[in-house]
Structure formats: structure tokens, C-alpha cells
Amino acid sequence: MNRLEWTLVIVATLAIGHVQVQADEDRIEALEARIEQLESAGGPGIPLHLSWHNGPRMRSDDGSIQFNLSGRVQYDFAGFDADSELSEVAEFDSGTQFRRGRIALGGVMHEHTIFNVEYEFAGGDAKFLTTFIGVRNIPFLGTVRVGRLLEFYSLEQLSSNNFHTFMERGLSAAFNNYWANGIGIHNSVFEGRGSWAVGAAKRTDNYGNSQAGRGENLSARITAAPVYLDNGRTWVHLGAATIQRNPDDNEYRVGSRPESSIAPTLISTGPVPSDRVNLVGLEFAAAHGPFSVQAEWHNARVSLEATDEFPHDGHANLNGFYVLASYFLTGETRSYNPATGTLGIIRPNHNFRGDGHGLGAWEIAARYSELDLNDGPVEGGHLRNGTLGLNWYLNPTMRVMANYVRADLKESGTADILQMRAQFTF
């Protein structure tokens, strides 16, 4: 190869190299532009770590992003033995049912914004329950939520039914309104040893749709834990709450079953003409080691409106209360959160293993409750219940419950109820 040919080869090689270098530079510039674009949009992504804490949890390293999946299944059986007088008032049929079947997804987005979506499937018709969006860590206000919320009323109502001592709430829970659409504001006080909450809500259908004639409600609650010792082994809870209701279509009604969801309704006021109902509730609970007590009293002051069918005005005072005591044979303590004034999960000291080395947690309990819906022209009935309970917590997610209920409808008769529940939660 002569000198000219060598020169042409060298020139061609240099040209090709220059083209390759330019192409690489173009690709690098394109990649840098893409990275800058991703960074300006919030980054290429935030790593999430999957874990189990009483259910599947996903969270970022700093906790600013969290997703929590939860659910529950409660399957009930109930058998009845009613005397002949009470059988004439209502028909008692033994049976089974899925008391609750729920799934929920909640969490935290970018540290301060929160959300929750919860569906109930029991009964064959899916519906919204606690479903909201909100902002937390707001100075003074604490947390603000809007959506379908529980009203700020009653220790039993605001504590999850996953952790109730008995299968059903006490008779006075008939006054609870449960879910309504609106806004709720709550915060802890006294360095996490108390709480306050206020809310405004409007009654809607099961999907949050508002209709004409639906009532508006205002609620407020305060709680305090004057005693909280030994990492929660000893505590005392005090609480008070109130609700002002404008009943749907100016008609108020309240009634109750005898603390069994399969039992028939035994007392009811029927529709009472009223433009306003003021509810007041007082709460007390305490625990010392394995022993605990709990009580609530509720009063509904109903403003009566005279009509042709109901020629009465003035007021009617309807009342209800319960008191219960429980004892863990295996030494556990009822869980309590003083910052929210609510009861929490039970964790056995030793989960059930089936090999003789773990018994789970065993709890015995007794409760007495009354609901008096008679006052003046309102004659809804007077019901009294005595209940004995036995709970076996196999682990934090599985529980078996057995309740014996003695229901006494004043001036009508009595019924004996034996019921059981298998419950799984996560």
C-alpha cells in the first residue's frame, strides 16, 4: 500500500471516529435532558418496602408515602329461646349470617395528605363506609378530613368493632348515627393524653349522594386520660360528646334489637315528628393489668312537633346506658390510645400454635345495658339485656367469640340468645 492509500485510510478512520464521538455526545445530551425532565416531575420513582404489621403495609424509607390494606370477615350464628309472650311481639328465627365483610385501602401521600377507601360487602350490596381525603399535621387543627365519616360520638362507635369485647354494641348504641358525609377536624392535646374533635355532616345514601330532606348534624367530642401508666397496663379514660341533629324530613325514630344482629327489632319509637334532637353522651373506661371496666350513658332530647296524627309538642327524653367488665385469664391488657380516646387491638402474650406451647389470649366478660324509649307521648318500649361473653384470641388477626344474652322486654317477656362469631381481620 502506497503513501496515498495510507493517507486515505487514516482520514476515513478519523472521520468515522468523529461521527461516533458526536453520536455518543448526542445520546449523552439526550439522557441528561431526560434525567432533568424526570427530576423536575418528582424523580424517577420512590422505593417502597413491603412489610406485615397486622396486615400488608407498603412505605417509603422516610415514611412520607404509605399504603395500608386492611379488611375483616365476621361470620355469626345465633339461636333463640323466647317465651310465649315475647314470641307474640316478634318472631325469633335462629340463623347465620356474614355480619361484616369489608376491604379498605388507606395511607399517606407526601407526608401530610391522607386518604381511605372502605367498602362493605356483607348483605350482598357493596357500599361505602369510612371513605375520605384529608390533610394532617396542620398547626392547632391537627387533622382535617372530608368524605364519608363516623360522627364524633361514643367510645363504642369510634373504637373499631374488630376490638369490641362483645359481638354487638350495648343497647344505647341505638342512638349512634354512624356514617354521614361531611367534614371532621380532630387533634390530640395534653401531650397526647387527650383529644378534641368537631364535625359537620349531612345524611346521605350508602354512596355519599345527598338527597332533599336529608338531615344535617353537628358533633363534638372531648376525651382525657388522667391516668396512663406502665406503658398502657394501667389507664383511665374520660369522655363526653354531643350531637345536634335535624332529622330527615322532620321525623326522628330510634329502635333496637336485643344485642344480636340476627334477632328481630323489639323496641322502636316509630316516626316521631321532630325538627331537632340533641344527644349527650358520657364515657368512662379503665384498665389495670388484665381487668377492665367500661360504661357509657346517652340521652336524646327530642323536640316534638304537633301534627294531626301526633297532637303533642314539648320534649321527650330518651335514655340508654351500659356497663361492662372484662378479665384476661392469660394476663393481657385492653389496648387504649389516649391521643384519640379509642380502644385498640388485642395482642396475645403467646399466639396459639396448636402444639401446647401457645394458648392465645382468653377473656371473660359481663355486661348489663338498658334502653328506655318511653317518655310522655313517645312509647317506644323499655328493653334490658344481660350478657356473658367468652373470647379466644388465637393471634392478633383471628378471634372466636361466644355470647349468652338474656333479653327482657318490659311488660312483654324474655328471650335467651346463644350466639357465636368467627372473626378474621388484617
Domains of the chain by range and CATH? Answer: 68-425 (2.40.160.10)
Q: Alpha carbon of 408 to those of 87, 219, 266, 378: distances in Å?
A: 12, 32, 10, 20
Assess contact for 189 and 196: CB atoms under 8 A: yes
pLDDT band of residue 15 (cuts 50, 70, 90) is: low
In this prediction, residue 212 carries a pLDDT of 59
Say yes or no to pLDDT of 17 above 60: no
Grid cell of 36 as nine digits? 432533568
Assess contact for 166 and 258: CB atoms under 8 A: no
Find cell 326522628 and name the residue.
252
In this prediction, residue 215 carries a pLDDT of 75
When pLDDT is averaged across residues 275-287 and rounded to a whole number, the result is 97
Assess contact for 241 and 283: CB atoms under 8 A: yes
pLDDT band of residue 47 (cuts 50, 70, 90) is: confident
pLDDT tens digit sequence for 355-390:
767 899 999 999 999 999 999 999 999 999 999 999
CA-wise closest residue to 221 among 135, 304, 342, 90: 342
Q: Which helix (H) or strand (E) holds 363?
A: strand 361-375
pLDDT band of residue 3 (cuts 50, 70, 90) is: low
Q: What angle do CA 290, 174, 341 make, to 5 degrees?
A: 40
Q: Which helix (H) or strand (E) holds 12?
A: helix 3-40
Residue 293 backbone zone (phi > 0: left; psi -120 to 50: alpha; other: beta): beta
Find cell 404509605 and name the residue.
66
The structure's pTM equals: 0.85
When pLDDT is averaged across residues 179-198 and rounded to a whole number, the result is 95
Say yes or no to pLDDT of 18 above 60: no
Residues counted in the chain: 426
In this prediction, residue 5 carries a pLDDT of 56
Q: What angle do CA 118, 245, 225 make, to 5 degrees?
A: 65
pLDDT band of residue 157 (cuts 50, 70, 90) is: very high
Range with the lowest mean pLDDT among 26-40, 261-275, 307-321, 338-352? Answer: 26-40
When pLDDT is averaged across residues 125-139 and rounded to a whole number, the result is 93
Range with the lowest mean pLDDT among 11-20, 113-122, 335-344? Answer: 11-20
Residue 104 phi, psi dihedral angles, 5° rounding? -145, 145
Residue 226 phi, psi dihedral angles, 5° rounding? -65, -20
CB atoms within 10 A of CB 324: 21
In this prediction, residue 417 carries a pLDDT of 97
Q: Tell me how far apart the alpha carbons of residues 344 and 263 are, in angstroms, rounded to a whole number.
A: 28
Say yes or no to pLDDT of 19 above 60: no
In this prediction, residue 162 carries a pLDDT of 95
pLDDT band of residue 109 (cuts 50, 70, 90) is: very high
When pLDDT is averaged across residues 203-215 and rounded to a whole number, the result is 71
In this prediction, residue 117 carries a pLDDT of 96
